[in-house]
A and B are shown apart, each in its own frame.
Chain A
Amino acid sequence: MRSALYAEWTKLRTTAGPFWLVVLAAVLTTALSAVAARAVSCAATGCGVDAPLVALTGVQLGQAVVAVLAVMVVGDEYRTGMIRTTLAATPSRAILLGAKSLVVAGATLAAAVPGVLGAWLAGRLIMPGRGFTAEHGYAPLSLTDGGTLRAFAGSALYLTLVALLSLGIAAAVRDAPTGVGVVLGVLYMAPILVAVVSDPDWVRRLRQIMPSDAGTAILHTVDLPSLPIGPWPGLGVLALWSAGALLLGGLLLRLRDA
């Protein structure tokens, strides 16, 4: 496992693509958060805005870049045919996918941690000027506050789980464009599908099991009981999706001809 991990790390660092995707994910996460922080305002006490959630808006965009990064780790190998060299070097499909998962998780955290910290800094610097002040009941965003810390640290975990979900899907579909399409469909189409369901009970049920809806519960800090699912159980649902995708990808990798 260690040598497989070393090999995957060597692969990742010896092409420029992954590095720039990590930078892009971090920059876009921070940038969209800064834009969102400038776009909201709080006119009076009790405006009810979830300040950390606003400051984490960039995660919605960062997840797409992270998904592309994860899909490329597998998709590039199928595009070039290099997957056969890879499987010849590491015949155990389980070890190979495990090594790829760890490398992808590491690269995602390398993007998510600075990206989310940037988002926090943007929110902390910009939002007080938009009416999020002590007299309206808002302290500056602080990572020592339990709920805020959970939302920001949780969003880094959320991005990592999205990346692993993408990796599993890419291993199953074996093609980068298809992989990106399926992942973005799962992440962004599900909320749209939920919107066309009229029965409120079903909407709630769907939002409890959809990976992006359930997973982003971790970003919320106010009015938690009104969410369809709690922050940590929600992240757990996403984790199940990721584990399921990796399991499916690994199984197909084992059963199909390379």
Chain B
Amino acid sequence: MEATIEVNGLRKAYGSTVALDGMTFTVTPGRVTAFVGPNGAGKSTTMRVVLGLDRVDAGTALVGGRPYRSLRTPLRHVGALLDASALHPARSGRDHLLWQAHSQGLPGQRVDEVLTLTGLADVGRRRAGGYSLGMRQRLGVAGALLGDPPVLMLDEPFNGLDPEGIRWMRGFLRALAAEGRAVLVSSHLMSELQDTAGHLVVVGRGKVVADTSVADLIAAASSDRVTLRTTARTEAMTALARVGATVAVTERDTLTVDGLPADRVVTVLSEAGVPFSEIAAHRATLEEAYMELTRDAVEFRATEVAR
């Protein structure tokens, strides 16, 4: 089976509230696709539609080319984590996975494997009701991995994780994608997916606002701004101004250069024989690039809330 999620023209309204307004995107194998947007943008609804839990007014959602409800052992095709707290508090974590394994014809041994994989081997026999949110997220990921599926779909997996857990989750997602799986991860905090996501699907108000590779996005958002440290301030300013750069003094021996890429700055200064001790190109973080992108799509703007 092809490891893809194909979402095409999803529309759904709850009364007069439009939840999905032509949501369309494809998740391809081998990379982590970040599914980001403000709360209420339609991320969770889309994931529920993909899993055949919610119906749509129009459009299709296919996993590996097939509608979810037609899959006989769906957890072997796609592993999903929607709500980590959706478990019976009196049942142990291991038993919570065990019934899911049995529903797919998987042996109990597979349960122990995914418990080890997610670092829950020691607490598997404890009541899941006593788990911290971080442990529940790990349990949810363990459930998603039960059927060793080629497609993974995780809704806000970073919620409730401590810094160590966030690091673990990032590495884990990268590794799963590196194995050739299609991994879709939703988040409303872009910074969580820094260095993890290779592709970005940004949504707002029920539709896709941007569908781009992370590298392209960051390159576009990073302006040609270079920070320069030099003892020969005046000489540097003169040399750079001559080739058209805008130079500003930020500290006693620090300059900010706009309008010239870092490698050109280096060339100009070397040719003019100006000494410098440090040069750094400013690079936008994924968060900054994302904020730039969604400035207009945010459902509730701070100004509106403030009124």
Interface of A with B (CB < 8 Å)?
3-4, 6-11, 14-17, 76-77, 80-82, 84-85, 87-92, 255, 257-258
Contact = CB atoms under 8 A, between A and B. Distances in A.
Contacts of B100: 7, 85, 89
Q: Top 4 nearest A-B pairs by Cβ distance?
A: A7-B103, A81-B86, A14-B95, A10-B99
A258 B54 contact: yes
B68 interface: yes
Contact of B86 (A15, A17, A82, A255): A82
Contacts of A81: 83, 85-86
A84 B83 contact: yes
A80 B87 CA distance: 6
Interface in B72-105: 73-75, 80, 82-83, 85-92, 95, 98-100, 102-105
Contacts of A257: 48, 53-55
Contacts of A8: 99
Contacts of B74: 88-89, 91
Interface residues of B, number: 33
A87 B103 contact: no
B220 interface: no
A76 B88 CA distance: 8
B243 interface: no
B264 interface: no
A258 B55 CA distance: 9
Given A3-B103, A10-B98, A91 B52 contact: yes
Q: Secondary structure of the B side of the interface?
A: loop
B71 interface: yes
Nearest to A76: B88
Given A7-B99, A89-B74, A91-B69, A15 B90 contact: yes
A182 to B, nearest CB: 23
Contacts of A77: 88
B53 A15 contact: no
B99 A11 contact: yes
- Among B53, B91, B103, the one with the most A-chain Cβ atoms within 10 Å of its Cβ is B103
A9 B82 CA distance: 24
A80 B96 CA distance: 13
16 contacts: A14-B95, A15-B88, A80-B85, A82-B86, A82-B88, A87-B51, A87-B52, A88-B74, A88-B75, A88-B82, A89-B104, A91-B74, A255-B55, A257-B54, A258-B53, A258-B54
Interface of B: 48, 51-55, 68-71, 73-75, 80, 82-83, 85-92, 95, 98-100, 102-105, 143
Nearest to B89: A80
A10 B94 CA distance: 11
Given A84-B82, A91-B71, A255-B55, A14 B103 contact: no
- Among A76, A77, A81, A89, the one with the most B-chain Cβ atoms within 10 Å of its Cβ is A89
B52 A84 contact: no
A17 B95 contact: no
B141 to A, nearest CB: 13
A90 B103 contact: yes
B90 A85 contact: no
Nearest to B147: A89
Contacts of B85: 80-81
A85 B143 CA distance: 9
Nearest to B140: A85
B91 A15 contact: yes
A14 B87 contact: no
Nearest to A89: B103
Contacts of B87: 80, 82, 85
A89 B75 contact: yes
Contacts of A17: 90
A88 B51 contact: yes
A1 to B, nearest CB: 10
Contacts of A15: 88, 90-91
B56 to A, nearest CB: 10
A3 to B, nearest CB: 5
Contacts of A16: 90
Nearest to A77: B88
B99 A14 contact: yes
B197 to A, nearest CB: 24
Contacts of A84: 48, 51, 53, 82-83, 86
